[in-house]
Amino acid sequence: MEHTLPNNDRLDAVSFRTPDVVMHSERLGAMHQTRISFVRTLLRKIDKEHWTLSKHLWDLDNDGYGQVIYRLQTPEHVYHLVVFCNQIADEERNDRVIAQKWDVTFALVYGEIGDELLANLKANVPLQEAGRNSNMVMVLARANKSVRVFDHIVSSLAEGQQPDLDVLAQVGYILRTTAVYGNGKFGIYDFKPLDHSEDFNQSFRAQMCAVYLIREFSLDWVDYLAQKKGGDKAVSLHPEIKQYLGIGNATGLGMAPYLINHPCVVDQWLSAREGALQAVLVCDIEDDRNNKIQQLSHLMKRAIQHFSEVVTINEPQILLNSTVVDELNKLQNNFTSEIEGCVTWADFLQRQAYLSFESQEVITSCLMELYPELVDAFAGQANADETMSLPGGKVVQDLIDVLEARYQWAISIDFEAEDNVYWFWYRSEDKEEPRMGVRGQERGDDKEFLLDIGRQANTLYLALQQADPQQLLSEFILKQPKYRSIARRVWTMGHKKMGDIQINVLQKTALPMHLLRCKLSMFGATKFDPRSDRWVRVTLFQGAPLFAEVHSDEWLFPLLPNLSVPKRGLTHDRIA
């Protein structure tokens, strides 16, 4: 498949990059944080609207167990982050959804916390899925310690020393979330009524906010415990180290069905991202009067350093990261000649189409940083109407046309071939954990979880070809109602800018990791550390300013702090 940009004379109004390019699963699996990732837009909002955060309750014992409440004030309303810290045995610490206990459980709560509500939270939040929470809870989540990092930081600080950066670089966080629930899960507040909230009316903003606040807690927590342990000898964690540490997140297969089951949302996210990119790509590069070339070079240097510092145990990811470093180094070395002759940034990006997807997507993230005034407006386009419907007045041929124009990736697959239906997806009795099994070898394919959009589109195409091309679509569906669901989807997504993700999740070599990566990068994750082909650890808010110093400047690609160099403003300014 061709993965290059079309020539400028073939531009359409949507994007320089066609859906076949953008929605290709492998490219989705190479995405990085951008200016319009949710963590970035949240921080700009906090900064611009002067949100405030204070400790409302700090009720922890000397070992750090107990409860803590932070009070978040926005221009519109007040919220509280309620945190419960429990002692658990090492063997109880499990990232998977099937876990029963966690080091930290927390909730972002709408409004004030009275005694009755606090008692209810205390009884239910630590139970997570097994509890029944008040609908004043907007976000319900839990996290486990990175024991190695946590113990090392606390003991170092207690001794009056800063922690060893090499230890921190292995992980990049103190706490790792293993699920962050919003939108009505387990009885909490639905997302829809937040339509009227200026604070949290955008997809996943409440969840991202809860994660940002738990990061604040994790940093306060280690300072508190070091002080308890070391007394007068103890020191606080260095501010630059605090900024370097984010919140970890462990994500498994559970995230993949979301992307398949919410195609309108995914299309909206990717369309907004492409729209923002296009706004940049049409800009003239000009001479360096506007400093953009220098800014881009600076950001790419930072990316090179970031990918040099990232630690992962995953061999393929190690190779991908080192490829990025090599490719971007070469690009940096020839930067002047690479820019030369390019009129627009689209020309420049097109010249880089031979690079790996990872490198190309690093460049798009960097390019989007150059024009905040053009890009940031797209951040408000994260929500989508998820209605999928069939129009009136259309005939069978109209739907065939859509399939042939937008679903070639599906209708060209031979689903008779075993490798193309190798996997089946299902939910386990074990806390409904999504899993994959090998068809014909493992039990459960009779209860297959229908994520097979490619196969369904293919089947629909074959059925339509048997029908009279001029038959009304509504009549065809009335006679063959089993096709209505996929027909609605194909029609709706076939008329969206980016449409469906182009992946056959049943295919033997399909990598769910690509789907996870797509969503996580939209959140704004960094440091992708796959633990298997179905499980990934990332960091959120790594390199982000702390709440007290929140700002709207960029913090792309977190870097290890260099404590031997006096700080000159922000950490990311230290690269010459």
For other proteins, the binding residues (CB under 8 A) are 95-96, 132, 135, 183-193, 250, 252-253, 390, 392-393, 426-430, 432-437, 442-444, 446-447, 449-450, 472, 474-475, 477-482, 484-485, 488, 512, 531-535
Least distance (Å) from other proteins to the CB of residue 446? 8
Nearer to other proteins, 494 or 530 (CB): 530
178 exposure class (CB count in 10 Å sphere: 0-12, 13-18, 19+): buried
Q: Compare residues 79 and 409 and give the one whose CB is closer to other proteins.
A: 79
Choice between 464 and 559, CB closer to other proteins: 464
What is the rounded CA–CA span in Å between residue 548 and residue 62?
A: 26
Taking the complex as a whole, how short is the minimal distance between the CB of residue 348 and other proteins, in angstroms?
38
Sign of CA pseudo-dihedral 68, 189, 121, 431: negative
CA 264 to chain centre: 16
Q: Which is nearer to other proteins, 288 or 475 (CB)?
A: 475
| Sheet strand arrangement including 526-532 | 52-60, 66-73, 78-85, 104-110, 137-145, 173-181, 246-251, 535-540, 526-532
- Which residue number, 356 or 480, has a Cβ lying nearer to other proteins? 480
Q: How far is the CB of 12 from other proteins (least distance, A)?
A: 30
Structure-block tokens of residue 130: 């097994």
Our CB check for other proteins shows the closer of 148 and 482 to be 482
CB 423 to other proteins: min, Å: 9
CB of 438 to other proteins, least distance (A): 9
C-beta of 503: minimal distance to other proteins in Å? Answer: 17
Degrees, nearest 5: CA angle 98-134-105: 40
Instruction: Please check whether residue 82 is in contact with residue 69, taking contact to mean a CB–CB distance below 8 angstroms.
Output: yes
CA dihedral in degrees (249, 106, 259, 99; nearest 10)?
Answer: 70
573: buried, middle or exposed (CB in 10 Å: 19+, 13-18, 0-12)?
exposed
Neighbours of 184 (CB within 10 A): 14
Q: Which is nearer to other proteins, 341 or 391 (CB)?
A: 391
| Cα angle 74-79-82, degrees, rounded to a multiple of 5 | 140
Whichever of 6 and 184 has its CB closer to other proteins, that residue is 184
**Which one-letter amino acid corresponds to residue 362?**
V
The CB-of-330 to other proteins minimum distance in angstroms stands at 35
What ranges in 191-251 are assigned the alpha helix state H? 205-230, 239-244
**Angstrom distance (rounded) from CA 205 to CA 199:** 8
Nearest Cα to Cα of residue 6 among 364, 274, 346? 346
CB closer to other proteins out of 126 and 512: 512
What is the nearest approach in angstroms of other proteins to the Cβ of residue 333? 39
The least CB distance from residue 389 to other proteins, in Å, is 8
